[in-house]
Each structure stands twice: as structure tokens, then as C-alpha cells.
Structure 1
């Protein structure tokens, strides 16, 4: 893919809480390694990096602000000059000023990574596409968890991940893998 010099890397919810065992079985165990590789590439090429942090409104959430799970994992600590977006709902555009910051900076191409594929990643990518941004979702730099559907049928994290990417592909975003960038 052709990567613009000002393409923004949006890293969603790479906080300590996402590693909590109570969230259950996940897919893409190498996702964080891919995110670290992409982050390194963005930093080396001086492209914009945006860190998205979830501040939950629910006290039983792994992202509740009053405990350590809300903090970024050490390897994803924002560096000076990198943007921080704090959100209270899955969509990183909702009530955060993200769209205005991107427009002001003239950024049109977004590369989205993080967690969870079917939650914050999907909702952010949908909005990005709806707002006219050129959104890319890096499938091997995202992950999710086993989840039952509305009718109670269990689905593996791999199935949930695949369906979420299928929802996005072509309509809201282009799904790619990290090799296509690196």
C-alpha cells in the first residue's frame, strides 16, 4: 500500500487492563509485537502517532480510571510530541476532538491497530470511513476475545475477529496486514 508521509498510526487501548485474564481467551498472540514494529517504523519515519486511552465509566471495567489497568503498557507509553486521545466509549472519534485534530493537521490516511477488533477498533474504523478518511485496519496488529452472539452461540476470538474485519472491509476501511506496510 502507498503510505502517505503524514499517515497517522492510531493505537487503540493498549493499556494494562487488556491483559487481564478475566477477559478470556484471545486471538493473535503476536498482535502486540506487530504494533511495536509499526510504532517503531512510525517513529523512525517521523509520522504522526495517536495513542487512544479508554477511561471507563464503569467501576468493574479493566479500564476504570481509579486503578492500574487504565495505564498504558510500558511498551506503548506515548512519547513527547505524540497525541493522546482519551475516550469513554468505544469510538475514538466520539466526543474527543480527534476528527478536528486530524483535519487541522491535514491527515487523511489512518492506520488503525489495537483492541478489541470487534469493539473499539471496529467502531473507530467505521466512523473514520463514514467521515471520509482513508482508513486501514491492520488485521495482525489487532485482537479480540471469545464471545457469544446475541442468541447465545459461542464464537472463538478468531471467528469474532474475522467477522469484524469482514464488516469493515471495503465499506468502511481496507483490511491489510503489517507486512504490507513494513
Structure 2
């Protein structure tokens, strides 16, 4: 086994919050497709939740902290874990778990492009993994400076090559 699927921050509070993610339903459908493909190929699925401090909307156990039920993840077979920083490797066992399973290629999808997706792609490359950013399976929200579509396009272009291989869902 040399690859794994890493789903980042596809949480109720981020996906269904007051600010809607750009093209969210299409991104969700693509992630669901990646999950189906991973299951069919016996590729392990890792899903991470961003955890806020106590009292925040995404504190441990809160309704907004939960992963989207539409992902149909299974805590018995999938590896579900929490993080407190944008980089999914920081202060987690992710790198050790991947190495212990002989995983080199890490397919990355989820939210938010300019924070957790970017940080995790760069960290994966620095740690010696081969990050594969799924170009049509990550998203974010509009910002005052840039629309989400521009943020996504920029990150797909910037991360491609030096920090990740960028492919679409159909190419997986």
C-alpha cells in the first residue's frame, strides 16, 4: 500500500456555516467519489477535524465540530483525528501512521484552501511524502481581498510542482 486519502476539515460548522464554501456541493460530490474509489481500492482514509478551544463553535464534541455525515466515514475502518493548527501533521500522529503503513502518496482534499490545504500540502512535501492535491476537491470562502475561485486557482497553480502534484478527481 503506497497511497492514502486525507480529507481535511469537512465539518458541519465550516461547510454549513454562515459563509458558504465556493461550489461546495460539487466539491463534496468529488470527495464522496474519492472516498468510493479509496474503498474500492482498499486505500486508507484519514479524516481530520479542526478543533477550536473550549467555548468555540468547533470545540470537541460540538455539533459544528462533527465531520459531515454525507461523507459516510466509519470510525471503525477510517482513521479520524483532530488538529488544532492548519497543518494536519502538526502535533498529530499522521506522519507516523502514514509511514507505519508504508504510505508515500497522500491525496489531499477538503477545506479551506488557503489555510489547511496549503499548509498540509507543504508540510507533506517537507516530510518526504508525495502530496497529490485534488484540484476540484478543495474549497474555501470568498474573502474581502479575493473571490474563492481565484484563491483555489492560485493555490492549484502555486502548489503544483514544488509542493504537490495537482490532479482532478477524474484522474485518480
TM-score by length of 1: 0.87
Please state if 1:173 is matched with 2:164: yes
Contact 1:56 1:89 in 2 (8 A): no
Runs (4+) off by over 3 Å: 58-61
Aligned with residue 42 of structure 2, among 43, 46, 60: 46
Contact 1:28 1:140 in 2 (8 A): no
- Correspondences of 1:86-101 after superposition (within 5 Å): 86-101=82-97
- Correspondences of 1:1-12 after superposition (within 5 Å): 5-12=1-8
- Residue 44 (structure 1) shift: 1.4
Mark the runs of 5 or more structure 1 residues left unpaired by the alignment.
149-153
- Residue 59 (structure 1) shift: 3.7
Residues 66 and 52 from structure 1, CA distance in 2 versus in 1: closer, same or farther, beyond 3 angstroms? closer
- Correspondences of 1:11-26 after superposition (within 5 Å): 11-24=7-20, 26=22
Cα distance in 2 between the residues matched to 1:72 and 1:12: 10
TM-align CA RMSD: 1.7
Mark the runs of 5 or more structure 2 residues left unpaired by the alignment.
none
Which is further off, 23-32 or 118-127?
A: 23-32
Which is further off, 170-179 or 25-34?
A: 25-34
Cα distance in 1 between the residues matched to 2:134 and 2:39: 17
- Residue 67 (structure 1) shift: 2.4
Q: Which residue of 1 aligns with 2:130?
A: 134
Q: Which residue of 1 aligns with 2:71?
A: 76
Number of aligned residue pairs: 171
SS of the residue corresponding to residue 170 of structure 2 reads: helix
Q: Which residue of 1 aligns with 2:113?
A: 117
Q: Which residue of 2 aligns with 1:151?
A: none
SS of the residue corresponding to residue 39 of structure 2 reads: helix
SS of the residue corresponding to residue 10 of structure 2 reads: coil
Please state if 1:160 is matched with 2:151: yes
